[in-house]
């Protein structure tokens, strides 16, 4: 803020950014700058299109220019790891980073996607995974973060269903240290009965394939919570079908907002202004 209380950039401004390719569609600059303004921090956040072959140079730039933090998105979440000095336990286990904090010249990689998902699930859908049964659809990069965060909550049982069954089994085996977990093929979803929570982590149902469903809607029952990490469209066909059957629904926007909430909190040590962050993102998606 300047001496009149206006928000302005100056020579004290702390810099942040997001690296991705493509990056034009990113809502992160809007959300993070709103958060900085709301909390009165002298900080700025910009989007940088970084091609895969330029990632190393871009990270050198983060060090040289003294950025306090960055987010990374597709296609850099795994490839960034060798350029960092340290990883959080979760980032190590998940094998991917979406948030980097620079502490006294050291770059520390974290993963806030999965914990962001779980916090949003609790705060927005009122669902607490402890002691409950969970069906996770997908076993790719996005699934890994969500699966680790859910497994750490102490569910009674977790099922991971994936088109390529081997990947589901491998992920289930990795998670078995944390939870009772089984990997199955999509065609065997019936085996898991009626779980308390269903989460889609695949891109099935995402624009432009809005008509697609990741599971047979006949398996959904009133009382279940159904979550989709896709947020384009905001209400996927899975969520529409679930709502019609009396399930509680949880959209993917929450995971996006709360991964940003955690990143903001790691960088600044302040509580993130969740409501303001959500409002600005929702408004941008409306039109």
Q: Which residues of 156-169 are buried (b: 16+ CB within 10 A; e: fewer)?
A: ebbbbbbbebebbb
Residue among 166 and 270 whose Cβ is closer to ligand ATR: 166
Residue among 113 and 153 whose Cβ is closer to ligand ATR: 113
What does the alpha-carbon distance between residue 202 and residue 35 come to, in Å, rounded to a whole number? 29
Check residue 203 and report its DSSP letter: S
Task: Give the nearest distance from C-beta 141 to ligand ATR in angstroms.
Answer: 3
Task: Give the nearest distance from C-beta 138 to ligand ATR in angstroms.
Answer: 4
Contacts of 274-282 with CB under 8 Å at 24 or more apart are: 274/123, 276/34, 276/35, 276/38, 277/31, 277/32, 277/34, 277/35, 277/38, 278/253, 279/34, 280/30, 280/31, 280/34, 281/27, 281/30, 281/31, 281/253, 281/256, 281/257, 282/253
Task: Give the nearest distance from C-beta 8 to ligand ATR in angstroms.
Answer: 38
Task: Give the nearest distance from C-beta 139 to ligand ATR in angstroms.
Answer: 5
Residue among 56 and 140 whose Cβ is closer to ligand ATR: 140
Catalytic residue among 4, 77, 167, 235: 77
What does the alpha-carbon distance between residue 195 and residue 185 come to, in Å, rounded to a whole number? 16
Residues at the site binding ligand ATR, with contacts judged by CB under 6 A: 138-143, 162-164, 167, 202-204
Residue among 37 and 167 whose Cβ is closer to ligand ATR: 167
Residue among 31 and 139 whose Cβ is closer to ligand ATR: 139
**CA-based nearest residue to 31, from 10, 16, 13:** 16
Task: Give the nearest distance from C-beta 163 to ligand ATR in angstroms.
Answer: 3
Residue among 60 and 166 whose Cβ is closer to ligand ATR: 166
157-162 and 181-185: which strand pairing? parallel
What does the alpha-carbon distance between residue 11 and residue 15 come to, in Å, rounded to a whole number? 11
Q: Is 77 a catalytic residue?
A: yes
**Which residue sits closest to ligand ATR, CB atoms considered?**
140
What does the alpha-carbon distance between residue 74 and residue 50 come to, in Å, rounded to a whole number? 10
Output the CA angle 151-153-159, nearest 5 degrees.
35
Task: Give the nearest distance from C-beta 144 to ligand ATR in angstroms.
Answer: 8
Residues carrying an active site annotation: 77
């Amino acid at each position: 803020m300047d001496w009149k209380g206006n928000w302005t950039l100056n020579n004290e401004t702390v810099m942040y950014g997001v690296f991705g390719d493509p990056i034009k569609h990113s809502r992160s600059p809007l959300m993070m700058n709103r958060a900085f303004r709301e909390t009165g921090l002298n900080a700025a956040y910009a989007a940088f299109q970084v091609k895969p072959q330029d990632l190393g140079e871009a990270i050198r730039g983060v060090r040289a220019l003294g950025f306090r933090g960055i987010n990374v998105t597709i296609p850099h979440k795994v490839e960034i790891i060798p350029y960092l000095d340290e990883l959080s336990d979760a980032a190590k286990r998940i094998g991917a980073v979406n948030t980097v904090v620079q502490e006294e010249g050291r770059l520390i990689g974290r993963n806030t996607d999965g914990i962001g998902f779980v916090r949003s699930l609790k705060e927005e859908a009122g669902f607490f995974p402890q002691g409950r049964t969970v069906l996770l659809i997908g076993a790719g990069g996005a699934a890994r973060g969500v699966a680790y965060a859910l497994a750490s909550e102490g569910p009674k049982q977790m099922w991971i269903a994936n088109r390529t069954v081997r990947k589901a089994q491998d992920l289930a085996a990795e998670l078995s240290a944390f939870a009772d977990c089984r990997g199955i093929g999509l065609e065997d979803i019936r085996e898991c009965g009626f779980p308390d929570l269903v989460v889609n982590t695949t891109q099935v149902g995402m624009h432009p394939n809005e008509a697609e469903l990741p599971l047979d809607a006949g398996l959904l029952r009133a009382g279940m919570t159904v979550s989709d990490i896709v947020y384009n469209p905001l209400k996927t066909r899975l969520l529409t079908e679930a709502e019609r059957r009396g399930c509680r629904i949880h959209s993917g926007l929450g995971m996006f907002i709360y991964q940003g909430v955690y990143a903001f909190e790691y960088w600044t040590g302040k509580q993130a202004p969740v409501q303001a962050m959500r409002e600005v993102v929702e408004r941008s998606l409306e039109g």
